[in-house]
A and B are shown apart, each in its own frame.
Chain A
Amino acid sequence: MDILLQQLINGVTLGAVYALVALGYTMVYGIIGLINFAHGEVVMIGAMVAFTVITSLAAHTQLPPLLILLIGLVVAAPTCMLLGYGLERLAYRPLRHAPRLTPLITAIGMSIVLQNVAMIIWGRNYINFPQMIDKTSYHIGNALITNVQVAILFLSALTMVGLMWLVYRTKLGTAMRATAQDQMVAGLMGVNINRVIAAAFVIGSALAALAGLMVGTYYEIAHYQMGFMLGLKAFTAAVLGGIGNLAGAMAGGLLLGIIEALGAGYIGDLTGGFLGSHYQDIFAFFVLITVLVFRPSGLLGERVGERA
């Protein structure tokens, strides 16, 4: 088997999910300069809600599996969008003019609250995601790609194209970009700033729900703490690409996924068998530290000066 190619395929798949989550971080940061640390938990809630819907439909109905997955998404997405809106409205908006550290700490607090709520609802154990798709693999050279991976890649790409269209071709998107640059002047143009900010949260949360469903289906497992590490990595991806920059979040996500997968594939060889692939998480944080030290504005970001 071709390890390099195989790990590239795995990395791109993982990276596509990171990219979706990173977009949520970067959209919010771009507009209000807040790192919404509870965003990873929105992904987790998306996965959990989708899990609940999918398992109960699979147990009680004869619907085709793909339709069940779709219904899972159709329920999880609005739930997450409502959650994202609620976070902005109740936790962050009252702190809009507070010192930067205040909303940041609030975000960490919301992350803890959501984890605990999820633990109360779904329990503290790992949850097995029902396997809805019969896995088949296709050969690419000497490596394999599964139909789940293909689906993740296809859906992510489609979603990102849709997001780019929204941001660069619609009135709402133009208003979002204008607000990100100058809130006062956007207000003078007649833009209701609060609505644009809420829209950024809601759209990011919809992407998070999709990411949650994908992660659950891919790893076939869910847990109330799954959002924490995923969120940190997606945040790393956003920083890597240049936080506040949409294309950067996508590039950063893909790159981070690839770095992680290659790292996991070769870490044994690199350390003479001392470290195994379960140490793959260190690569993400190695990347984060390297970027913060050598290029804090990220690959595609502009110089942002001193921001939280």
Chain B
Amino acid sequence: MLEVRNLHVAYGGVKAVKGIDLVVAEGETVCLIGANGAGKTTTLKALARVVPGQGEIRYRGQDILHWPSYKLVGEGMALVPEGRGVFSRLTVAENLAMGAYCRNDKDGIAADLERVYKLLPRLKEREKQIAGTLSGGEQQMLAIGRALMCRPRLLLLDEPSMGLAPIMVQKVFEVIQSVAAEGVTILLVEQNAQLALSIAARGYVMESGAVTLSDKADALLTNPKVREAYLGGE
């Protein structure tokens, strides 16, 4: 689904990502963990072509390194950005409509809207509400629901647990798991390594712009180095 080779990203003179390799197979849930500032968010942004990168990014066999970001959605790649990025002055329904912006099949959109509302009933209740008035957790749900409106094949999630109460984090991750169960490929960036590894099949560990470790999720969970650095010791 996604093959990344030797990806470099620099902001001005600062190298944020220094030549990483990453593979996500179809139907897989893969997570990218690491400390703050390790380059996880930058990696996702480079994949979604929001920031320019160098190297090789192949998505479904096509080299997308120089694609404009708006073209990727039509190809089924959706990014739920860090901090959710809901359009706070638009209503919930308008936000979801924006998610389906790249589509023109009215019936299909209506059907997917029903699916999203079924998966996230809270959004249905707040359909007409301005998105900025939702709670943080609801906004995260909205951001995920909005990404689902484009019928993604590959969903990139950036820190979905950030700033949420534990109970809300639990709910968000349940939603992510049910999306994965529908066959959507997921690349998840998370600081909460424990949680991320518990739903992923494989994981990559990033440190100062480079991938230092990659393994099956359960192997990472028991790896002493990972335990010490990201899972709170013991």
B90 touches A189 (CB 8 A): no
Q: Give the residue name and chain of the A residue nearest to B156 (CB).
A: A188
A201 to B73, CA, bound (A): 26
Closest to B71 in A: A190
Interchain CA distance A182-B98 in the complex, whole Å: 12
Chain B residues closer than 8 Å to A190, beta-carbon distance: 70-71, 73-74, 101-102, 150
List A residues 239-267 near B (Cβ within 8 Å): none
B74-111 at interface with A (beta carbon < 8 Å): 74, 78-79, 81, 85, 87-90, 94, 97-99, 101-102
8 Å CB contact of A185 from B81, B94, B97: B81
Contact A188 B79 (CB under 8 A): yes
CB of A102 closer than 8 Å to a CB of B: no
How many Å lie between the Cα of A186 and that of B87 in the bound state? 9
Known: A177-B89, A181-B89, A184-B50. A189 touches B68 (CB 8 A): no
Distance between B102 CB and nearest chain A CB, rounded to angstroms: 3
**In the complex, chain B residues whose CB is within 8 Å of the CB of A181:** 87-90
Residue A82 is within 8 A (CB to CB) of chain B in the complex: no
A177 touches B90 (CB 8 A): yes
Q: Does B69 interact with chain A (Cβ within 8 Å)?
A: yes
CB neighbours (8 Å) of A182 from chain B are 85, 87
CB atoms of B89 and A192 under 8 A apart: no
Residues of B within 8 A of A178 (CB): 87, 90, 94, 98
> Chain A's interface: helix, strand, loop or mixed, by majority?
helix
Docked CA distance A192–B73 (Å): 11
- Is the CB of B48 closer than 8 A to any CB of chain A? yes
Residue of B nearest to A185 (CB): B85
A189 and B102 contact, CB distance less than 8 A = yes
Contact A184 B81 (CB under 8 A): yes
Contacts of B150 in A (CB 8 A): 189-190
Q: How many of chain B's residues touch chain A, expressed as a range?
A: 20 to 34
**Contact of A191 with B97 in the complex, beta carbons under 8 Å:** no
Selected from A175, A187, A189, A192, the residue in CB contact (under 8 A) with B50 is A187
Q: Which residues of B contact A188 (CB under 8 A)?
A: 48, 50, 69-70, 73, 78-79, 81, 85
How many angstroms between the C-alpha atoms of A187 and B98 in the bound complex?
10
CA distance A215 to B81 in the complex (A): 47
Q: In whole angstroms, how far apart are the Cα atoms of A254 and B88 in the complex?
A: 29
CA–CA, A186 and B89, complex, Å:
13
Interchain CB contact (< 8 A) of A189 among B73, B88, B89: B73
**Complex-state Cα separation, A174 to B96, whole angstroms:** 11
- Per the 8 Å Cβ criterion, residues 120-161 of B in contact with A are 146, 150
Q: Which of chain B's residues 50-68 have a Cβ closer than 8 Å to chain A?
A: 50, 68
With a cutoff of 8 Å between Cβ atoms, the chain A residues found around residue B87 in the complex are: 177-178, 181-182, 185-186
CA distance A184 to B79 in the complex (A): 11
Within 8 Å of chain B (Cβ to Cβ): is A97? no
B97 cross-chain contacts in A, Cβ below 8 A: 171, 174
Complex contacts, B88 vs chain A, CB 8 Å: 181
Q: Which has the most chain B C-beta neighbours within 10 Å: A175, A182, A188, A191?
A: A188
Report the minimal beta-carbon distance from B108 to chain A, rounded to whole angstroms. Answer: 15
Which residues of chain B come closer than 8 Å to A189, judged between CB atoms?
70, 73, 98-99, 101-102, 146, 150
Contacts of B73 in A (CB 8 A): 188-190
- Report A106-144 CB contacts with B as 1/0, cut-off 8 Å: 000000000000000000000000000000000000000
Q: Is the beta-carbon distance between A192 and B70 smaller than 8 angstroms?
A: yes
Query: CA of A175 to CA of B88 in the docked complex: distance in angstroms?
Result: 13
User: Does A193 count as interface, using CB distance less than 8 angstroms?
Assistant: yes
Other-chain residue from B74, B85, B90 in contact with A174 (beta carbon distance below 8 A): B90
- Given the contacts A175-B98, A178-B98, A191 and B70 also touching, CB distance less than 8 Å: yes
Contact B98 A174 (CB under 8 A): yes
Q: Nearest Cβ in chain B — how far from A184, in angstroms?
A: 6
A183-213 interface with B by 8 A CB criterion: 184-193
Shortest distance from the beta carbon of A51 to any chain B beta carbon, whole Å: 40
* B86, closest chain A residue (CB): A185
Starting from the known contacts A174-B94, A188-B78, 6 additional A-B residue pairs (CB-CB under 8 Å) come to A184-B50, A185-B85, A187-B50, A188-B48, A188-B81, A189-B102
Q: List 25 A-B contacts (CB under 8 A).
A: A174-B90, A174-B94, A174-B97, A177-B87, A177-B89, A178-B87, A178-B90, A181-B87, A181-B88, A184-B85, A185-B81, A185-B85, A187-B68, A187-B69, A188-B48, A188-B69, A188-B73, A188-B78, A188-B79, A189-B98, A189-B99, A189-B146, A190-B70, A191-B98, A192-B70
Top 6 A-B pairs, shortest CB-CB distance: A190-B102, A190-B73, A185-B85, A187-B69, A189-B101, A189-B98
